């Protein structure tokens, strides 16, 4: 595998979980995503956790993407629970949706059909919503990992081979 750090690919991870914020749940999905991204050559420059909710997600994603060029992966809040509002918060701040990425992520597992996750861009950042389970977060990210460097180069307006 090519070391993508040389290409300057950076990533951030946001865990959306009332339980993690309350200190009653360990952030295993955030850890799993960071491990996956580092293993794929990304420089993970930030990891945060935020409570579930439309406004908390929108505000935190806005802050994390302001002036940032790179990938932001969220974990949690994509299902049917009453507090699962990550897609709604993400939609509030994305400028352009990337439905092909979200659909590819849904196809990796039969439970993906229950996912309401979205993907999209804000400025030069690409945001991906993933499930709250470590396995689901990793599987969904792996489903699109091969095309992310190209997408990030396009977002940063770097020349790309077509």
The pTM for the full model equals 0.94
> Which numeric CATH code is attached to 4-155?
3.40.980.10
pLDDT per position in the chain (162 positions), as tens?
344 444 689 999 999 999 999 999 999 999 999 999 999 999 999 999 999 999 999 999 999 999 999 999 999 999 999 999 999 999 999 999 999 999 999 999 999 999 999 999 999 999 999 999 999 999 999 999 999 999 999 999 876 666
**3-state class (DSSP) for residue 94:** coil
Cα separations in angstroms, 119 against 22, 54, 97, 122, 125: 27, 16, 6, 10, 11
Domain map of the chain by residue range? Answer: 4-155
**3-state class (DSSP) for residue 82:** coil
């Amino acid at each position: 595998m090519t070391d993508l750090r040389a290409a300057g690919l950076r990533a951030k991870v946001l865990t959306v979980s009332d339980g993690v914020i309350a200190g009653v749940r360990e952030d295993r999905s955030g850890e799993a995503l960071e491990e996956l991204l580092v293993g794929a050559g990304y420089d993970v420059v930030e990891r945060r956790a935020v409570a579930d909710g439309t406004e908390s997600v929108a505000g935190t994603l806005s802050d994390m993407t302001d002036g940032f060029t790179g990938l932001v992966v969220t974990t949690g809040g994509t299902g049917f629970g009453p507090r699962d509002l990550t897609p709604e918060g993400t939609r509030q701040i994305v400028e352009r949706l990337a439905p092909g990425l979200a659909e590819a992520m849904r196809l990796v597992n039969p439970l993906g059909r229950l996912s309401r996750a979205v993907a999209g861009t804000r400025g030069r950042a690409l945001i991906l919503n993933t499930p709250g389970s470590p396995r689901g977060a990793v599987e969904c990210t792996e489903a699109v990992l091969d095309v992310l460097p190209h997408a990030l180069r396009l977002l940063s307006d770097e020349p790309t081979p077509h």
